[in-house]
Structure 1
């Protein structure tokens, strides 16, 4: 790429629109009109409705979720496969040499810190919740078995580990990578605002600053706030389950509210300190604690079985990625719809949040480096993590040890702690796990607040600190309100709404691939 290519690329996207151009000042906030107002209205309407009529809201929104998953299962699967192939192609194509920010751009964060931030925001908390429950569920047939394999057999073990990685490997990270790369490229190489609508500029031109762009950004805000609030609520339930299991602290609504208040309080401090002083620091702490926990379990657990599980999960993933990616003639409908299609809709609904955050911390990376780090490295790390925790749990089930072997999965939020119960130093390991869960939730909350703040500020990254704090507080308030007003029913309803949004966002992501490819082609002339 020649010197000055970034500036030349921006000339091709000559637009008078600037980040925050349509903003208004309101109660000390610097917000985009009408994205902020409409998003706030829809969010409050959904939350109030879910609290006032939790059962009805759950029925309606679960029906909408079921309709989107059952009627468009093929669409989610085809799209997921396209996303993976598109990302792999970008690694080997000449456009992989393009650097985000231009030839002179330098990475703002070290490679290790960069990885810690994208991984913590991407799916760190999910790995804590499901790394034990999911492999055991597939192995024992708790809610369907992948590809209708017979439960509790050697074949079921390989497929359980492979199917788990299928849901946490290349496909979800490809979804995140497309959104992140699109936003980073059009913001840093083309000078457009760092907001979702900018990714569609090559196809729609100046129209992205109008109604079309408002719709895209509003959809992104709603999906993000619903996803964060429900994760915070369900996470509080998992944390209190662990506290009850470990310290016999009552697992009550009051305890859950205290957990949310603590997480929100720390998140407020983090977002107030900004990206470098808050989010980066917590992300590094996250990965240190996670590594400590993984090594601890590896050493005190059945080390031989864990290393065997690493081979099993690698082989199981490679052998089954194509059959599990296929949507034609599937007979394992319970697993297929209840797990895979659900996951694809969930990852896609989270893609605006995670994608924008990754974009924000990725200036200075080449596209080849970016895709490799975002797609391949997290998949390998997740594989090791699942082997350590999922492999240990399945080994306990096979040996007939503990409640997971006796009763199966009775409460997914307790599965990890039930596995820890039959390891040496149970109390220490469980305490570390609880701390890790809480810190992961803080990083999700503070990074999510930065993302929502950016979208509702019209792409500005320097909005007032009070604005970032506002969103962190609102996430906690919504989670508490849902728990108090409707409990798990209300949380499930809002989660169903977020997943339903995954359907229109799948369309947007496919269009985004076309728009990104067109944008990248315009920069190929600058690549030597």
Structure 2
């Protein structure tokens, strides 16, 4: 029946995954609009229970991802090249980093670059730290970088590595169920696999919609600062509609190259904003701050990775850290597919260390400049940031309140609004393509109809508008509660993903998994494996030795970014 409906609508997708995901999303929207109070109650109750009883699981989970990824990069498996041992990277290191920036850093840093440090400066998370002191500033930077450094990128890196491995090494489609192939086998095409894929589609929609919602709040705040546009739900829905319309027009026109050029321009604009703040602000103070903040992060990242606010039990961690991890992991299939697509030809070691280290290094620089600039305004300047961001709760307006202290504030704020608009528009555009890929048919290598991507682009906007406008909670509260609940199954899948990836590596590269003494015994016939098991691992990892079957042709895999 579903296949018949699909043909009638002119679609080309896995009908079960597509229609189930669409139905669940539409059901959420209709239920939220018609039963607002009841939906609020359900998500409030579920979110409160998770924060109280499972916050530790979120903390432990992301720290486990970091440990696993660093271990696998430094292990024997780090030499395995994604796409075959003779494959080389399609992009230079510089171009690769620029695309990593576009994938996940830009939107996060624009929203939280000022808001996070100044919030923790005014209200330190830890007991015994005097608010608005030098010690509070130091701890604020430690928490900000903990939230947006290695741990955030580990959440992106784990699914990205799994996607890359199973797509390029085993020729499987870009689906979340593909990473469970060592455990499920061909059952990834059955009910269990399709259930996992539906979870990925719905979770990605909500993750991207939360990002669109946060961006909308920031855009609304910027327009209020510049033109006095009121900050309310009606304006926010209109802004979401505009962003969605632009993204939909991009999908319909097929101007993928244009969007890529626009993204690159946007990145340059963001870096230009960073340089402007550095040069126009207390340059020496910021430069010293970059060095000092790096040391603060290195010395704090391990203890913070296991910190659970056990003794104070203030609830702070639930509204900050757990929200971040839940939001990021729901967004991770989208970013993971993007990163996997641009990383073919890199070894696992290059992949992991690059994805973790490069964005983290840039994050340290960004937060050091904007964070130290914020502290300078409060401690040595006219102040006002704590009052606006913390006392009045204007988190989305933090960047614009910050820029008021710099030359040409109106012009720079207008450019910042433009940067945010482009970031979220291109994210919506690319996410629509990725969600469409998550629904693709295994046996269909033809390009999907444009109407499918248009549907997902519009759906993202509708979900974002529903989360902001059709819930009884305020904007940030509604986004936090929904995403905390939606993120839970993704953490469970992520643990299974680590086990599945390790199992696949051991199966595909058995020689790399044995220690040297075992291999010597086998070579001498001293084990049950006998003389047949004499191949050396070098034969598997030497780039000049074509012992590994070639990965499927690039044309067999759809490109999520055009």
Q: What is the TM-score normalised by the length of structure 2?
A: 0.84
String of CA shifts for 1:136-156, please: whole Å, max 9, x gaps.
110110xx5246533222211
Q: Does 1:198 align with 2:183?
A: no
> Structure 1 stretch 171-180 or stretch 343-352: which is displaced more?
343-352
Q: Does 1:76 align with 2:90?
A: no
> Structure 1 stretch 217-226 or stretch 147-156: which is displaced more?
147-156
Structure 2 vs 1, CA of residues 477 and 454 (structure 1 numbering), >3 Å: closer, same or farther?
same
3-state secondary structure, aligned to 2:86: coil
3-state secondary structure, aligned to 2:202: helix
Q: Distance in 1 between matches of 2:43 and 2:209?
A: 16
In the alignment, what sits opposite 1:451? 434
String of CA shifts for 1:91-132, please: whole Å, max 9, x gaps.
222222222111233433443333233322224212111111
Q: Distance in 2 between matches of 1:188 and 1:91?
A: 18
Equivalent of residue 210 in structure 2, options 214, 230, 240: 230
Q: Does 1:500 align with 2:492?
A: no
In the alignment, what sits opposite 1:354? 335
Shift of 1:211: 1.6
CA contact (8 A) 1:24 1:32 kept: no
3-state secondary structure, aligned to 1:363: coil
In the alignment, what sits opposite 2:306? 326
Equivalent of residue 424 in structure 2, options 441, 449, 454: 441
In the alignment, what sits opposite 1:3? none
Shift of 1:473: 2.1
Shift of 1:484: 4.9
In the alignment, what sits opposite 2:140? 160
Equivalent of residue 265 in structure 1, options 231, 239, 245: 245
CA contact (8 A) 1:116 1:283 kept: no
Q: Distance in 1 between matches of 2:338 and 2:5?
A: 21
> Structure 1 stretch 469-478 or stretch 453-462: which is displaced more?
453-462
CA contact (8 A) 2:326 2:488 kept: yes
Count of aligned pairs: 506
Q: Does 1:185 align with 2:185?
A: no
Shift of 1:273: 5.9
Q: Distance in 2 between matches of 1:101 and 1:207?
A: 24
Q: Distance in 1 between matches of 2:195 and 2:53?
A: 24
The root-mean-square deviation of aligned C-alpha atoms, in Å, is 2.5
Alignment of 1:85-124 (within 5 A): 85-124=67-106
Q: Distance in 2 between matches of 1:25 and 1:118?
A: 37
Structure 2 vs 1, CA of residues 94 and 135 (structure 1 numbering), >3 Å: closer, same or farther?
same
Equivalent of residue 14 in structure 2, options 24, 28, 32: 32
Shift of 1:324: 1.1
Q: Does 1:345 align with 2:330?
A: no
String of CA shifts for 1:221-260, please: whole Å, max 9, x gaps.
1111112223223322220210110222344555434432
In the alignment, what sits opposite 2:460? 475
Q: Distance in 1 between matches of 2:256 and 2:92?
A: 12
Structure 2 vs 1, CA of residues 478 and 382 (structure 1 numbering), >3 Å: closer, same or farther?
same
Equivalent of residue 284 in structure 1, options 255, 264, 267: 264
Q: Distance in 2 between matches of 1:332 and 1:401?
A: 33
> Structure 1 stretch 448-457 or stretch 55-64: which is displaced more?
55-64
CA contact (8 A) 1:95 1:520 kept: yes
Shift of 1:382: 0.7
Unaligned 5+ residue runs, structure 2?
Answer: 513-536, 543-562
Shift of 1:22: 12
In the alignment, what sits opposite 1:374? 355
Equivalent of residue 527 in structure 1, options 524, 527, 541: 541
Shift of 1:437: 0.6
Structure 2 vs 1, CA of residues 271 and 108 (structure 1 numbering), >3 Å: closer, same or farther?
farther
Shift of 1:77: 1.7
Shift of 1:195: 0.6
3-state secondary structure, aligned to 1:424: coil
> Structure 1 stretch 112-121 or stretch 294-303: which is displaced more?
112-121
> Structure 1 stretch 226-235 or stretch 42-51: which is displaced more?
226-235
Q: Distance in 2 between matches of 1:407 and 1:452?
A: 38
Q: Distance in 2 between matches of 1:406 and 1:494?
A: 23
Q: Distance in 2 between matches of 1:466 and 1:61?
A: 32
In the alignment, what sits opposite 2:545? none
Q: Distance in 2 between matches of 1:453 and 1:187?
A: 16
> Structure 1 stretch 232-241 or stretch 487-496: which is displaced more?
487-496
Alignment of 1:140-179 (within 5 A): 140-141=122-123, 145-146=125-126, 149-179=129-159
Structure 2 vs 1, CA of residues 276 and 104 (structure 1 numbering), >3 Å: closer, same or farther?
farther
In the alignment, what sits opposite 1:7? none
> Structure 1 stretch 91-100 or stretch 268-277: which is displaced more?
268-277
Shift of 1:512: 0.6
Q: Distance in 2 between matches of 1:510 and 1:362?
A: 23
Q: Distance in 2 between matches of 1:170 and 1:122?
A: 13
Q: Does 1:403 align with 2:384?
A: yes
Q: Distance in 2 between matches of 1:107 and 1:281?
A: 21
In the alignment, what sits opposite 2:404? 421
In the alignment, what sits opposite 2:529? none
Q: Distance in 1 between matches of 2:75 and 2:276?
A: 41
Shift of 1:279: 4.8
Unaligned 5+ residue runs, structure 1?
Answer: 1-20
Larger Rg: 2
3-state secondary structure, aligned to 1:100: coil
In the alignment, what sits opposite 1:249? 229
Shift of 1:54: 2.6
Shift of 1:329: 6.5
CA contact (8 A) 2:389 2:397 kept: no
CA contact (8 A) 2:157 2:355 kept: yes
